[in-house]
Amino acid sequence: MATAPVERLTTELVVPAEETPGGAVWLSNLDLAARRGYTPTVYFYRTNGQPEFFEAEAVKASLARALVSFYPLAGRLGVDETGRVQIDCTGEGAVFVTARWDHALDDLVAEFVPCDEMRDLLVPATPAPNPPCPLLFAQVTRMRCGGVVLGLAVHHAVVDARSAAHFVETWASIARGAGGGGGDAPVPPCFDHRLLSARPARAVLYDHPEYKAEASPTAHAVAAGTKYASAILTLSKAQVGALKSRCAGASTFRAVVALVWQCACRARSLPHDAETRLYSMIDMRARLAPPLPPGYFGNAVVRTSALATVGEVLGNPVGYAARRALAATSQGDDYARSLVDYLEGVDAMNLPRSGISRAHLRAISWMGMSLHDSDFGWGAPVFMGPALMYYSGFVYVMQAPGKDGAVSLALSLEPESMPEFRKVFADELATLQM
């Protein structure tokens, strides 16, 4: 897409509005095992015509208040005396950038796909994700039409998707006047990551292949950074309902991912005897015994996977793939504790983090991230999603903006596979309307 460059106007640090605790926040093995780097996201807001719409000083003031409760985000990544990564609560602040772009928001909404170009335009540049780097970057880009894009980059060692959403929802709540004069979070964050400590007597009861290098790639291994094609596709509420009826008992996420898995296997023209693995990330907050506090702020997700042959995925109804996905996403406390214990025995900070084989998919649910909770006082965003895809084979499942019950996919595949995937996926959606 042909675009004018984004002009960055100011860059500054926003510090907490009040004095905050010092010291360090210990990071769990799940934090250390997270992808090393920043997660970039974008929120698109259509102007409501008010002169104070996303006025920079008001946005910064509400951010400063949000950082009172979420004070670790104003700190820096650090290391303890043993070299283990931690959060140093220095109160130095989050990086805040203002920018303008001679481009129309409606055009951006129509043409946006997650890619390196979009990330570079709409999200602040970030340093190497190693100590002593900042943890939160924000950019407010004002469009030619008056609309705004809020671009964020948060260090993944500090938060998973649910925690990131918790922070944004609190920030937005404060900005629209619902957060309390002192910057209190509607759900107070919990920074006690020792709730996910390894047990004194470690007990690794499962294999946890998702945290190991792929021993023998099934087909043309795809490394992180390899070129990919990305797309955003939508299923209507009726299509989602019809799909779930074919996947008895499956959640929306599992049913949609099952269909994507089938279509990707077909579009990639994989041999039927090839193995294909569906990776997923499962939030364990409510699955632990006892559950984590509602405001647990950190990484509380575990990688899981389901393995099948391409022939099994394609030769059975979509409900088969959904049942395999269910098997990979139904683990409980014993599985999570086994994983934490396993990670205690390996170098969790240097796990394999390359791309995946082109026979595989990595699916992530953002279904719980409500767009309405990201209303800063001028209306909910018309779109929210990832700013880029890390490599081929990523799938994000999200609520579709403005369409109750509809689902959007952000998907990346090899450039040569994407045209066929679009065709196969469209054909499958057509059958869901019959």
- Residues marked active site are found at 156, 375
Sign of CA dihedral 377, 382, 388, 390: positive
Separation of alpha carbons 131 and 138, rounded Å? 19
Are 45 and 371 in contact by the 8 Å Cβ rule? The answer is no
> Cα separation of 136 and 74, whole Å?
7
421 phi/psi in degrees, rounded to 5: -60, -45
DSSP alpha helix (H) spans, 6-104? 29-33, 56-69
Give the dihedral of Cα atoms 173, 174, 179, 181; nearest 10 deg: -170
Q: What share of the chain is helix, strand, coil (3-state, %, to 5)?
A: 30, 25, 45
Q: Which of 195, 152, 161, 133 is nearest to 63 (CA)?
A: 152
Angle at 23 between CA 22 and CA 28, to 5 degrees: 125
CA dist., res. 274 & res. 199, Å (int): 38
Residue 339: C-alpha distances to residues 53, 59, 295 (Å)? 46, 40, 22
3-state class of 320 per DSSP?
helix
Sign of CA dihedral 327, 329, 330, 334: positive
| Separation in Å, CA 48 to CA 53, 140, 146, 364 | 7, 16, 9, 32
E strand map for 243-300: 275-283
Encoded amino acid at 174, one letter: I
In whole angstroms, give the CA distance from residue 284 to residue 205: 17
